[in-house]
Protein backbone atom coordinates (compact mmCIF):
# COMPACT_ATOMS: atom_id res chain seq x y z
CA UNK A 1 0.00 0.00 0.00
CA UNK A 2 1.53 3.37 -0.99
CA UNK A 3 2.38 5.85 1.74
CA UNK A 4 0.52 9.12 1.26
CA UNK A 5 2.12 12.42 2.14
CA UNK A 6 0.50 14.49 4.82
CA UNK A 7 -1.01 17.68 3.51
CA UNK A 8 -0.54 20.60 5.88
CA UNK A 9 -2.07 24.03 5.37
CA UNK A 10 -0.50 27.20 6.78
CA UNK A 11 -2.50 30.36 7.34
CA UNK A 12 -0.21 32.95 8.83
CA UNK A 13 -0.86 36.42 10.14
CA UNK A 14 -1.46 38.58 13.15
CA UNK A 15 -5.11 37.49 13.45
CA UNK A 16 -5.86 40.93 14.89
CA UNK A 17 -8.55 39.68 15.47
CA UNK A 18 -9.26 36.19 14.12
CA UNK A 19 -12.69 36.05 12.46
CA UNK A 20 -15.15 33.84 10.58
CA UNK A 21 -13.44 34.68 7.26
CA UNK A 22 -10.29 32.92 8.50
CA UNK A 23 -12.43 29.99 9.56
CA UNK A 24 -14.28 29.79 6.23
CA UNK A 25 -11.14 29.76 4.09
CA UNK A 26 -9.59 27.19 6.44
CA UNK A 27 -12.61 24.90 6.00
CA UNK A 28 -12.59 25.43 2.23
CA UNK A 29 -8.87 24.63 1.99
CA UNK A 30 -9.36 21.47 4.06
CA UNK A 31 -12.25 20.33 1.91
CA UNK A 32 -10.85 21.20 -1.54
CA UNK A 33 -7.23 20.18 -0.99
CA UNK A 34 -8.03 17.39 1.50
CA UNK A 35 -5.64 18.80 4.10
CA UNK A 36 -4.83 16.59 7.06
CA UNK A 37 -4.68 19.66 9.24
CA UNK A 38 -4.14 23.38 9.10
CA UNK A 39 -1.89 25.62 11.19
CA UNK A 40 -2.86 29.15 12.05
CA UNK A 41 0.64 30.55 12.52
CA UNK A 42 0.04 33.64 14.58
CA UNK A 43 2.73 36.26 14.35
CA UNK A 44 3.55 38.88 16.91
CA UNK A 45 3.73 41.61 14.29
CA UNK A 46 3.14 41.92 10.56
CA UNK A 47 6.27 43.50 9.04
CA UNK A 48 4.07 45.51 6.63
CA UNK A 49 1.72 46.93 9.27
CA UNK A 50 1.84 49.01 12.40
CA UNK A 51 1.64 47.50 15.86
CA UNK A 52 -1.23 45.12 16.57
CA UNK A 53 -4.04 46.53 18.67
CA UNK A 54 -4.66 43.32 20.60
CA UNK A 55 -1.77 41.70 22.50
CA UNK A 56 -0.37 38.39 21.27
CA UNK A 57 -1.67 36.20 24.12
CA UNK A 58 -5.21 37.56 23.73
CA UNK A 59 -5.10 36.95 19.96
CA UNK A 60 -3.94 33.36 20.52
CA UNK A 61 -6.66 32.73 23.14
CA UNK A 62 -9.36 34.19 20.90
CA UNK A 63 -8.20 32.14 17.89
CA UNK A 64 -8.32 28.96 20.03
CA UNK A 65 -11.82 29.84 21.20
CA UNK A 66 -12.98 30.54 17.63
CA UNK A 67 -11.60 27.24 16.31
CA UNK A 68 -12.55 25.05 19.30
CA UNK A 69 -15.03 22.95 17.27
CA UNK A 70 -12.64 22.65 14.30
CA UNK A 71 -10.00 20.28 15.65
CA UNK A 72 -8.17 20.16 12.30
CA UNK A 73 -6.98 23.74 12.98
CA UNK A 74 -3.91 24.06 15.21
CA UNK A 75 -3.13 27.47 16.71
CA UNK A 76 0.63 28.02 16.92
CA UNK A 77 3.18 30.73 17.66
CA UNK A 78 6.57 29.74 16.20
CA UNK A 79 8.59 32.97 16.36
CA UNK A 80 10.43 32.18 19.60
CA UNK A 81 11.28 28.66 18.41
CA UNK A 82 12.50 29.67 14.94
CA UNK A 83 13.74 33.14 15.99
CA UNK A 84 12.05 34.78 13.02
CA UNK A 85 8.74 36.10 11.75
CA UNK A 86 9.64 35.37 8.11
CA UNK A 87 7.39 32.94 6.24
CA UNK A 88 10.34 31.23 4.52
CA UNK A 89 11.85 30.39 7.91
CA UNK A 90 8.54 28.96 9.13
CA UNK A 91 8.14 26.85 5.99
CA UNK A 92 11.75 25.61 6.23
CA UNK A 93 11.18 24.66 9.88
CA UNK A 94 7.90 22.85 9.11
CA UNK A 95 9.56 21.03 6.21
CA UNK A 96 12.35 19.91 8.53
CA UNK A 97 10.03 18.45 11.17
CA UNK A 98 7.52 17.11 8.60
CA UNK A 99 9.95 16.29 5.80
CA UNK A 100 7.49 14.06 3.93
CA UNK A 101 4.62 16.55 4.13
CA UNK A 102 3.24 18.71 1.35
CA UNK A 103 2.85 22.28 2.59
CA UNK A 104 0.13 24.65 1.39
CA UNK A 105 0.52 28.34 2.16
CA UNK A 106 -2.87 30.03 2.21
CA UNK A 107 -3.04 33.65 1.07
CA UNK A 108 -5.73 36.17 0.40
CA UNK A 109 -5.55 37.71 -3.10
CA UNK A 110 -4.60 41.00 -1.42
CA UNK A 111 -1.42 39.32 -0.14
CA UNK A 112 -0.55 37.99 -3.58
CA UNK A 113 -0.51 41.59 -4.88
CA UNK A 114 2.44 42.39 -2.58
CA UNK A 115 3.91 38.90 -2.30
CA UNK A 116 7.01 39.98 -4.24
CA UNK A 117 7.90 42.21 -1.26
CA UNK A 118 8.06 39.22 1.11
CA UNK A 119 11.47 38.00 2.22
CA UNK A 120 12.67 35.26 -0.19
CA UNK A 121 9.25 35.06 -1.83
CA UNK A 122 10.46 32.91 -4.74
CA UNK A 123 11.86 30.31 -2.30
CA UNK A 124 8.54 30.20 -0.49
CA UNK A 125 6.86 29.09 -3.72
CA UNK A 126 9.51 26.43 -4.30
CA UNK A 127 9.07 24.91 -0.83
CA UNK A 128 5.27 25.09 -0.64
CA UNK A 129 2.15 25.19 -2.74
CA UNK A 130 0.34 28.49 -2.67
CA UNK A 131 -3.44 28.64 -2.39
CA UNK A 132 -4.96 32.02 -3.14
CA UNK A 133 -8.40 32.94 -1.88
CA UNK A 134 -10.00 35.88 -3.63
CA UNK A 135 -10.87 38.96 -1.64
CA UNK A 136 -13.37 41.62 -2.63
CA UNK A 137 -11.81 43.83 -5.31
CA UNK A 138 -8.42 42.04 -5.51
CA UNK A 139 -8.73 39.34 -8.20
CA UNK A 140 -7.74 41.60 -11.09
CA UNK A 141 -4.86 43.18 -9.15
CA UNK A 142 -3.55 39.78 -8.04
CA UNK A 143 -3.61 38.41 -11.62
CA UNK A 144 -1.53 41.41 -12.73
CA UNK A 145 0.88 41.16 -9.80
CA UNK A 146 4.63 40.65 -10.11
CA UNK A 147 4.38 37.46 -8.05
CA UNK A 148 1.62 35.95 -10.22
CA UNK A 149 3.63 36.63 -13.38
CA UNK A 150 6.86 35.15 -11.97
CA UNK A 151 5.75 32.18 -9.88
CA UNK A 152 5.43 28.65 -11.12
CA UNK A 153 1.76 28.31 -11.98
CA UNK A 154 1.68 24.58 -11.21
CA UNK A 155 1.96 25.22 -7.47
CA UNK A 156 -0.05 28.45 -7.39
CA UNK A 157 -3.76 27.89 -7.33
CA UNK A 158 -6.79 30.15 -6.97
CA UNK A 159 -9.52 28.59 -4.84
CA UNK A 160 -13.11 29.33 -5.78
CA UNK A 161 -15.41 29.80 -2.83
CA UNK A 162 -18.31 31.91 -1.64
CA UNK A 163 -16.53 35.09 -0.57
CA UNK A 164 -17.09 36.66 2.82
CA UNK A 165 -16.68 40.42 2.91
CA UNK A 166 -14.90 40.63 6.25
CA UNK A 167 -11.38 41.49 7.33
CA UNK A 168 -9.50 42.07 10.57
CA UNK A 169 -8.94 45.72 9.64
CA UNK A 170 -12.70 46.21 9.11
CA UNK A 171 -13.39 44.63 12.50
CA UNK A 172 -10.81 46.87 14.19
CA UNK A 173 -12.52 49.94 12.74
CA UNK A 174 -15.97 49.05 14.09
pLDDT (tens digit, 9 = 90+) per residue, 135-151? 888 888 999 999 999 98
CA atoms within 13 A on the CB side of 63: 28
Whether cis (ω within 30° of 0) applies to the bond prior to 172 is no
pTM of the model: 0.89
Average confidence (pLDDT) over 121-138:
92
CB neighbour list of residue 45: distance below 8 Å, 6 or more residues apart: 14, 51, 52, 85
Burial of 109 (0-12, 13-18, 19+ CB in 10 A): buried
Render pLDDT for 1-46 as a digit per residue (tens, 0 to 9). Answer: 566 789 999 999 999 999 999 999 999 999 999 999 999 999 998 8
Vertex 135: Cα angle to 55 and 130 (nearest 5): 85
Contact 107, 132 (CB under 8 A): yes
Cβ atoms within 10 Å, residue 71: 8
Amino acid sequence: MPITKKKIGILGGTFDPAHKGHLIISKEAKKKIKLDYLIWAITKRNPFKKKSLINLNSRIKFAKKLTKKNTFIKIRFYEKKIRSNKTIHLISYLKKINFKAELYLILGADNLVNFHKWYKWKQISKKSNILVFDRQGYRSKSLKSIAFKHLNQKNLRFIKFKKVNISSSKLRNI
